[in-house]
C-alpha cells in the first residue's frame, strides 16, 4: 500500500468509527474457533452511531450515558473493546476506564484490546507500553486503557474519556462505582454500562438505572438487545443454545424480548405467564386520555350498566396510586388513573370517574393515606350508600384486608384464579405488565425486589368488592351474614 493510500485509510478510520470497526477490527469467535471480522449488525450500529454523534460534537461535549441489557453472544464486549481502541489509537490523550467484576474479567477485557491491535495491518499497529494486566499505554497518542475492579471508589478523582462497565449487574459496588466516575463523565465523557440480566435481583442499581432511563428521568439511553438481534438466529437455534439451562437462567442470559428479561422468572411468577402473554396481546390503547395520561378511558359509560371502583391510594411521593373502574357485567376494566400524584389529585380523579360511571360501588383501601382520601371523597359528596364498608355497622368506609375473614392470600388467590380462567379482562398494558413482576419471593406472593404491586392489589380489591354489588336494594355478603344496604 502506497503512503498516500495509507494516509487516506488512516484518516477514514479516524473520521468514522463504523469504518474502522468494519474494515480493521478482527475478533476471536471461540465457538467457531475462528478469527472473524467484526460485523455491522443493526443493533451494534445503533450503538456505534450514538458514540460517533457524541464524539463529533464540538468540545466541550455533552456527556453520553448508555445502558445496555442484552442476551449473551450478541457482540457487545468486542464492540466496546473496538470503541476503546478507536479512541486511544486515533485521538490524543484519550483515557478509557473499564470497570470489571473481578481480576479475571479485567484481564480478558484488556486481552481483547491487545488482540484487536495485534491483528491490525502494520500501518495501524501501535506499540503498547506499558502492557500490564490492568493497564495498556499507547505512547504514540498518550492514550491508555485501565481496568479497575468494582469498588466503592473505583475511578474516583480521575478524568476519563470513556468508562465501560461490562456485566454491570455483577458489580458488587455498582452504585458507588458509578457515583465515583460520574463527575468526570459529566464534563463531556462517555459512559456505557452493559449486562445480561440477574433474575434473582430485580432491584439492582443497573435495574434502577434502566427503569428511570425508560421513563426519561436520568439522561441514560436504554438499549435492549435480545437473543434474536443476531442475524440467522431463530427459534431452532434458541432451543439449541439454551438446552439444559434452568428457566430462570435462560430468561436472564438469553432473553427473547425486554419483558422476558426484566420480569420475574416464569417458574416463580404468581400468575401464569403464558396467560399473561395472551392478555398482553389483548391490551389496547385508551379511547380517551385525560390530564396528560394520568387518567385513561377504555370504554365510555353506558347508562344502564353497573360499575365497581377500587382505589389503592398512596402518599404520592415514593409509590404510585391507582384507581380502576370495572364493568360489573363484563368484568372488564373500563377506566383508570395511575401515578405518583398527591392526595388532592387522587380525590379529584376518583370523584370525576365516580360521577362519570354512574356513581359505582366505591372502595378505597383503608391505609394511612386511604383514610385521608376517604374523608376527602366524603366531603366532596360521595353518597354514603355507594361506599363499600369494612364493618357490619356500616361506619368504616373502604377496604380493609382481613375484614370479613378475607385475608391477603385469599384475595390474591381468587384474583389468580380469575386470571387463569380468563374471566378477568384487563385492557390496561401497564397493569398486565406489573402482573409479570408479581412472584413468590421469600415464600410470599409479592412484587419482585424493585417492583410495585399497586395494580395487582387494586385488582384484587376490585374483585372482592364486586362480589358485594347488589342487583336490588339488599345483598348479603358471601363472607358474613349481615346485609350490605345500597340504593341503585
List every span in the chain annotated with CATH 3.40.50.300: 3-262
pLDDT of residue 109: 85
pLDDT of residue 244: 74
Residue 365 phi, psi dihedral angles, 5° rounding: -60, 135
pLDDT of residue 152: 57
What is 341-382 written as a DSSP string?
Answer: --HHHHHHHHHHHHHHTTS-EEEEB-SHHHHHHHHHHHHTT-
List every span in the chain annotated with CATH 3.30.420.240: 273-485
pLDDT of residue 405: 66
User: Cβ atoms within 10 A of the Cβ of 251, count?
Assistant: 23
pLDDT of residue 474: 31
Which parts of the chain have pLDDT scores under 50? 472-488
Contact by Cβ (8 Å): 297, 317: no
Q: Which CATH architecture has domain 273-485?
A: 2-Layer Sandwich (3.30)
Contact by Cβ (8 Å): 220, 209: yes
pTM for the model: 0.66
pLDDT of residue 246: 65
pLDDT of residue 156: 57
pLDDT of residue 153: 54
pLDDT of residue 30: 76
The CA-atom distances, in angstroms, between 137 and each of 17, 91, 127, 151, 203 are 20, 13, 8, 23, 37
For the domain made up of 3-262, the CATH class stated in words is: alpha beta
Contact by Cβ (8 Å): 441, 449: yes
Amino acid at each position: 500500500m502506497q503512503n498516500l493510500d495509507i494516509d487516506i485509510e488512516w484518516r477514514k478510520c479516524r473520521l468514522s468509527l463504523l469504518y474502522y470497526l468494519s474494515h480493521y477490527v478482527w475478533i476471536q469467535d471461540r465457538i467457531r474457533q475462528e478469527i472473524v471480522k467484526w460485523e455491522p449488525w443493526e443493533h451494534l450500529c445503533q450503538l456505534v452511531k450514538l458514540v460517533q454523534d457524541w464524539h463529533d460534537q464540538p468540545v466541550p461535549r455533552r456527556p453520553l450515558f448508555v445502558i445496555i441489557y442484552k442476551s449473551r453472544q450478541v457482540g457487545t464486549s468486542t464492540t466496546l473493546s473496538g470503541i476503546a481502541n478507536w479512541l486511544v489509537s486515533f485521538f490524543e490523550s484519550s483515557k478509557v476506564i473499564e470497570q470489571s467484576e473481578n481480576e479475571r474479567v479485567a484481564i480478558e477485557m484488556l486481552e481483547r484490546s491487545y488482540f484487536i491491535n495485534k491483528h491490525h495491518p502494520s500501518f495501524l499497529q501501535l506499540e503498547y507500553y506499558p502492557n500490564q494486566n490492568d493497564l495498556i499505554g499507547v505512547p504514540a497518542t498518550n492514550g491508555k486503557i485501565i481496568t479497575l475492579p468494582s469498588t466503592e471508589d473505583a475511578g474516583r478523582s480521575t478524568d476519563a474519556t470513556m468508562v465501560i462497565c461490562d456485566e454491570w449487574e455483577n458489580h458488587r459496588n455498582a452504585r458507588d462505582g458509578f457515583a465515583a466516575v460520574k463527575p468526570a463523565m459529566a464534563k463531556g465523557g462517555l459512559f456505557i454500562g452493559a449486562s445480561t440480566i440477574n433474575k434473582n435481583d430485580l432491584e439492582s442499581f443497573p435495574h434502577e438505572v434502566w427503569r428511570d432511563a425508560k421513563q426519561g428521568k436520568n439522561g441514560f439511553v436504554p438499549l435492549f438487545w435480545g437473543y434474536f438481534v443476531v442475524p440467522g438466529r431463530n427459534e431452532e437455534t434458541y432451543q439449541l443454545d439454551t438446552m439444559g439451562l434452568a428457566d430462570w437462567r435462560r430468561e436472564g442470559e438469553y432473553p427473547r424480548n425486554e419483558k422476558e428479561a426484566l420480569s420475574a422468572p416464569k417458574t416463580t411468577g404468581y400468575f401464569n405467564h403464558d396467560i399473561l402473554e395472551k392478555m398482553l396481546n389483548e391490551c389496547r390503547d385508551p379511547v380517551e386520555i385525560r390530564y396528560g395520561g394520568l387518567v385513561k378511558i377504555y370504554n365510555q359509560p353506558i347508562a344502564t350498566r353497573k360499575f365497581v371502583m377500587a382505589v389503592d391510594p398512596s402518599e404520592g411521593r415514593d409509590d404510585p396510586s391507582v384507581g380502576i373502574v370495572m364493568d360489573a357485567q363484563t368484568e372488564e376494566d373500563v377506566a383508570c388513573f395511575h401515578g405518583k400524584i398527591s392526595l388532592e389529585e387522587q380525590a379529584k380523579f376518583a370523584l370525576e370517574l365516580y360521577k362519570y360511571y354512574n356513581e359505582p360501588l366505591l372502595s378505597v383501601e383503608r391505609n394511612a393515606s386511604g383514610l385521608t382520601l376517604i374523608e376527602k371523597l366524603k366531603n366532596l359528596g360521595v353518597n354514603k350508600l355507594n361506599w363499600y364498608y369494612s364493618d357490619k355497622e356500616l361506619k368504616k368506609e373502604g377496604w380493609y384486608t382481613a375484614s370479613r375473614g378475607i385475608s391477603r392470600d385469599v384475595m390474591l388467590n381468587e384474583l389468580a384464579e380469575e386470571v387463569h380462567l380468563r374471566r378477568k379482562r384487563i385492557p390496561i398494558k401497564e397493569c398486565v405488565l406489573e402482573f409479570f413482576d408479581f412472584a413468590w419471593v421469600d415464600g410470599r406472593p409479592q412484587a419482585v425486589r424493585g417492583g410495585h404491586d399497586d395494580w395487582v392489589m387494586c385488582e384484587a380489591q376490585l374483585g372482592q368488592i364486586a362480589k358485594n354489588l347488589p342487583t336490588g336494594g339488599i345483598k348479603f355478603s358471601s363472607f358474613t351474614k349481615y346485609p350490605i344496604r345500597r340504593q341503585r
